[in-house]
Amino acid sequence: MSTWLGLGVAPVALMAVFGTVFVSRGPGRSDFWTFWVAGRTVLHGGDPYPVLASLPDVADKWFAPFVYPPVAAYLLAPVAALPFTLAKVVFLLLNLGAVALALRLLGVRDWRCYGAAFAAPPVIEAAGIGTISIPLLLIVAAAWRWRARTVRAGLLVACAVTAKLFLWPVWFWLVRGRRYRSAAIAVTASLVAVLGSWAAIGFAGLRDYPTLLDRMTGLEGPNSYSVYSLLRVFGVGDGGAAKAGYVLGIGALALALCFVRGDRRTLVALLGVSFLATPILWPHYLVLLFVPIAFVSRRFSWLWLAPVALWVDATAWSNHEAWRIAGELLVCGVVIRAAVLPRGQRASGAHALLTAPHGR
């Protein structure tokens, strides 16, 4: 009884605390400030990107320049048009509503699942600093819900990929499911959106954009929770770690496309490839884990508590510590494996572990 009470009370209390902190923070103290400034800048046709020479040699925890494709700035422009404090309140409420709507689209009705989601550090952090990770969860959930709608599915995947580049493997889900028209729409819409939004600001920052991404990898990647950051901890150089991440990502993509069967499992596997390949992985990215969790169980189960377990170490930065990074990646691996491995194999695997002779 106390567990169910906790799932009802704890999320409300946590959201109240972190929401209050988010709304009370001044300029420059949240990711939302970056999006708000970028949105207002593009509304006036300005350049939202930082000058390369202005980037620091070492990044601190509040270093958050706008490095997304300009599509993201335009998507947030309606909120950015509001005064800063009001915009924060509106965006916080939109984020909270997006979590509930995403779970609804995924077929989740059990209130305990909603409690677990709202109590999980990835959701708390995403809402508490004002990132676009929760909207991305909603977009991916909607793409799944309307996967049979050719145009709608293509546009939703295009929206996800152009807003956050690390989700590029999700496009292959359309191809793997033989939704070739949706895949073509996604590519076309992505090109039109990126080129059109860049043209609207006079292609400002386009030439230096690849260099900007490389600089951001070097500045923020080592403090994130990615495979790249883990390799850096063990002494692999910047270039070597980045190349290793690309190779692992491409290899995992090939394995997923060749050996994973089923629409749900393919989508989950490709989300796993996204986590594996990105050189920068922040805890709030893991809100996307609620897609595979909902696929495995629409009712409350132990898997819904996997993201909640991240409270064991709920720091925003890994601080170059291998155990922190490994713990985050372990949670990803557990959830992805549970959703990709067929139920019979999961059961037989668990039975084998329980019945194996001692000493083996």
Query: Rounded to whole angstroms, how far apart are CA atoms 287 and 73?
Result: 21
Q: What is the mean pLDDT of residues 38-62?
A: 88
Query: Rounded to whole angstroms, how far apart are CA atoms 333 and 263?
Result: 19
Residue-wise pLDDT tens digits, 72-121: 999 999 999 999 999 999 999 999 999 999 999 999 999 999 999 999 99
Give the pLDDT confidence score for residue 4 in this predicted structure.
56
- What share of the chain in percent tops pLDDT 70? 92
Query: Rounded to whole angstroms, how far apart are CA atoms 149 and 76?
Result: 25
Residues 6 or more apart in contact with residue 292 via CB below 8 angstroms:
268, 271, 335, 336, 338, 339, 340
Query: Rounded to whole angstroms, how far apart are CA atoms 183 and 167?
Result: 14
Give the pLDDT confidence score for residue 25 in this predicted structure.
80
Q: What is the mean pLDDT of residues 169-176?
A: 96
Query: Rounded to whole angstroms, how far apart are CA atoms 75 and 326?
Result: 34
Give the pLDDT confidence score for residue 5 in this predicted structure.
53
Cβ atoms within 10 A of the Cβ of 14, count? 19
Give the pLDDT confidence score for residue 8 in this predicted structure.
61
Residues 6 or more apart in contact with residue 255 via CB below 8 angstroms:
none
Answer whether residue 341 shows pLDDT above 90: no
Minimal CA–CA distance to 242: which of 216, 272, 268, 209?
A: 216
The verdict on pTM exceeding 0.95 is: no
Of the segments 21-25, 111-115, 139-143, which one has the largest average pLDDT value? 139-143
Where are the chain's structural domains?
Answer: 2-48+62-343
Q: Are 47 and 41 in contact (CB under 8 A)?
A: yes
